[in-house]
Structure 1
């Protein structure tokens, strides 16, 4: 290998370094942009919130009805001869 061949090889290696960093930086920025623009999980989250709200309402209603039914049966027992 001559001196000019070594110089060409070194210049090729050094010239890739700045482009490699720029490419990695661009890839990271593009991944962040894709993540921010992705709305595929939004529907699932909305359904989960609706299901959670409905379940809270059901639990509250059953609790209130259960208390009323317990009071009704207690009054029936108290009024029995």
Structure 2
């Protein structure tokens, strides 16, 4: 390996520790993603969730997407020093 690659491999980016702020960001982004799924064309395909106008696959997909977006927000805020 070249010395530049070795130097890059030994540095670890700063990641935030779990805190209530991180939890709020992840939860809020998951709720926003869940609200966005109400706009999909066929949200009722598959087994239905009681009390929600969504199916289980739509709900799980929205929660996964919300977590991915939330992780991006948390890492971005950490990178610019706001979190």
Higher Rg of the two aligned structures: 1
Shorter chain as normaliser: what TM range?
Answer: 0.3 to 0.5
Q: Which one scores higher on RCO, CA 8 angstroms, separation ≥ 6?
A: 2
Name the structure where helix makes up a greater proportion of residues. 1
TM-score, normalised with respect to structure 1: 0.34
TM-score, normalised with respect to structure 2: 0.34
